[in-house]
Amino acid sequence: MPDPDVTTTRRALLVVDVQPTFCEGGALPVAGGNATAEAIARFAASHRDRYALVVTTQDWHIKPRHHFSDTPDFVDTWPPHGVAGTAEAELHPALAGLQPDASVRKGAYAAAYSGFEGVDEDGRTLAKILRDARITDVDVVGIAESHCVRATTLDALDLGLRARVLTDLTVPVTAELGAAARTEMAQAGAELVPSVQV
């Protein structure tokens, strides 16, 4: 995906699904979600000049078929969450000052874990947004590490982007699922680093 004629690194920050619905008090909370949102906001504010582009992704479900269930198995089916038009589906209040360059929403009518399955308000996919900005590298942060961060990172690598996951700016659903996701992402070629190293 990166332009072979471009030798300069152009890095984007991908802020994945940092929404109240995935934080304490939300419909599908991940322990540590609120603290992670606040940490991402601080990092983005102090490192904005290091990124050519900042993009957010959001679950934005309307009728996502079998993704929602009254009797969820928490593997393929889940309680309703990230419902389009609700406060829980908006970006976390901690990100109020983020001012992303682009925002992608996903999962309107189907399950969508990767940010690359979404589009912005102009119908552009995340891949197109990054390609148009000549992005070569992405740093991925957000919620949850074991699900949407993992899927977004793997898709970025599949597109030929270099990817880093900032390990202190993401949180998994469970420690076990987080460990498995980190192993998979590393084996696929992602760099796993704490934000202090970037």
Q: Which residues are catalytic?
A: 17, 106, 148
For 192, phi and psi rounded to 5 degrees? -110, 115
Q: SS3 sequence, the chain? A: CCCCCCCCCCEEEEEECCCHHHCCCCCCCCCCHHHHHHHHHHHHHHHHHHCCEEEEEEECECCCHHHECCCCCCCCCECCCCECCCHHHCCCHHHCCCCCCEEEEECCCCCCCCHHHCECCCCCEHHHHHHHCCCCEEEEEEECHHHHHHHHHHHHHHCCCEEEEEEEEEECCCHHHHHHHHHHHHHHCCEEECHHHC
